[in-house]
């Protein structure tokens, strides 16, 4: 019943009106700070509008009703998960590219893009001609590599946009299934991970028999203390954290490994829309380049979007 803010500016403006103080204080506000590294009053309203699906009481009621058989739409809330895991999508792309006469260069970071010569040069000094290029790399990496002179406002805006880094700690467990949920969320400061997912639960498959995996997502600043922490220590912190929240795994762990992604999540501060307007206006003038994906468009779309 609180008075509606007709012009919400911040993450907290949207969610306090839509959900109330209790759920915001106990879950959404600490979770946002943990995930994006900014407080609820430092984040744009767009972050709440795009990333919190049930951001008002009406949407929550519809969500509750959607799990009741009488109200549930046929096929709602289902993923068609690849039988051999998520990477099967990209192996499919690779196979098609090769059949069409293309080649795939791995470990070739982009060094420069020359729009006049229509050539991309990689760090290994390979020179690749193109007619049409698709870019999925983060916006600052693309603009820094683009050889043409960039307007001053574009360079300034590019230097200010921020992505949040993420460590992924994978635990392979000696059990068929660890929990029946695909994901758990953790707003607590004293637990390093923000989310634990069990990829096997997204699929209808029971393979591999007798094994499952957990993925612990750990938001952090690239180059910071956590980012530089040794893998064995991260593994120990994850296992300790799981114990704290009542999900004990230490006797089940068969192996563990760590992955790092520097640009996992776009972070929408209060001025990001103005900066992105400047950047996207410029990018739309560039010939022969199509931008797609979360990092290249600075959007929070997932693969099924």
Contacts 24+ apart (CB under 8 A), 31-38: 31/185, 31/186, 31/187, 31/194, 34/187, 34/189, 34/194, 34/219, 35/164, 35/194, 35/219, 35/265, 36/164, 36/219, 36/265, 36/267, 36/268, 37/164, 37/219, 37/221, 37/267, 38/267, 38/269
User: What's the token pair of residue 139?
Assistant: 């916006």
3-state secondary structure at position 265: strand
Nearest to 217 by CA among 166, 265, 174, 172: 166
Task: Evaluate if residue 1 carries a pLDDT over 70.
Answer: no
Q: Give me the phi and psi of 23, to 5 degrees please.
A: -70, -30
pLDDT tens string 270-291:
999 999 999 999 998 888 999 9
pLDDT tens string 77-118:
667 778 777 788 989 999 999 999 988 888 888 999 998 889
Supply the pLDDT for residue 92.
Answer: 94
Task: Evaluate if residue 305 carries a pLDDT over 80.
Answer: no
3-state secondary structure at position 261: strand
- CA–CA gap between residue 248 and residue 252 (Å, rounded): 9
* DSSP per-residue string spanning 104-165: --SS--EEEEETTTTEEEETT--EEE-SSEEE-S-HHHHHHHB-SPPPHHHHHHHHH-EEEE
pLDDT tens string 211-232:
999 999 999 999 999 999 999 9
178 with 170: CB under 8 angstroms? no
Supply the pLDDT for residue 124.
Answer: 78
Task: Evaluate if residue 167 carries a pLDDT over 70.
Answer: yes
Query: Helix-strand-coil percent breakdown of the chain, rounded to 5?
Result: 35, 20, 45
3-state secondary structure at position 166: strand
Task: Evaluate if residue 2 carries a pLDDT over 70.
Answer: no
């Amino acid at each position: 019943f609180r008075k509606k803010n007709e012009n919400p500016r911040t993450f907290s403006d949207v969610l306090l009106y839509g959900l109330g103080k209790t759920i915001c204080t106990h879950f959404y506000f600490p979770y946002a700070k943990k995930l994006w590294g900014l407080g609820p009053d430092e984040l744009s309203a767009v972050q709440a509008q795009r990333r919190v699906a049930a951001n008002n009481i009406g949407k929550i009621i519809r969500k509750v009703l959607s799990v009741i058989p009488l109200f549930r739409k046929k096929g709602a809330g289902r993923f068609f998960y690849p039988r051999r895991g998520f990477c099967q999508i990209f192996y499919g792309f690779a196979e098609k590219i090769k059949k069409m006469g293309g080649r795939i260069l791995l470990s070739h970071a982009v060094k420069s893009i020359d729009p006049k010569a229509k050539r991309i040069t990689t760090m290994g000094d390979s020179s690749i001609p193109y007619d049409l290029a698709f870019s999925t790399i983060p916006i600052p990496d693309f603009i820094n590599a683009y050889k043409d002179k960039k307007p001053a406002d574009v360079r300034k805006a590019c230097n200010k946009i921020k992505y949040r880094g993420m460590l992924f700690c994978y635990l392979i467990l000696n059990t068929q299934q660890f929990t029946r949920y695909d994901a758990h969320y953790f707003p607590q400061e004293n637990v390093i991970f923000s989310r634990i997912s069990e990829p096997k639960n997204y699929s209808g498959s029971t393979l591999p028999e007798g094994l499952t995996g957990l993925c612990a997502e750990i938001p952090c600043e690239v180059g910071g203390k956590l980012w530089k922490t040794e893998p064995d220590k991260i593994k120990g912190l994850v296992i300790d954290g799981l114990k704290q929240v009542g999900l004990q795994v230490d006797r089940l762990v068969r192996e563990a490994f760590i992955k790092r992604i520097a640009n996992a999540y776009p972070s929408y501060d209060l001025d990001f829309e103005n900066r992105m307007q400047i950047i996207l206006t410029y990018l739309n003038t560039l010939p022969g380049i199509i931008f797609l994906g979360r990092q290249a468009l600075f959007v929070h779309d997932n693969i099924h979007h």
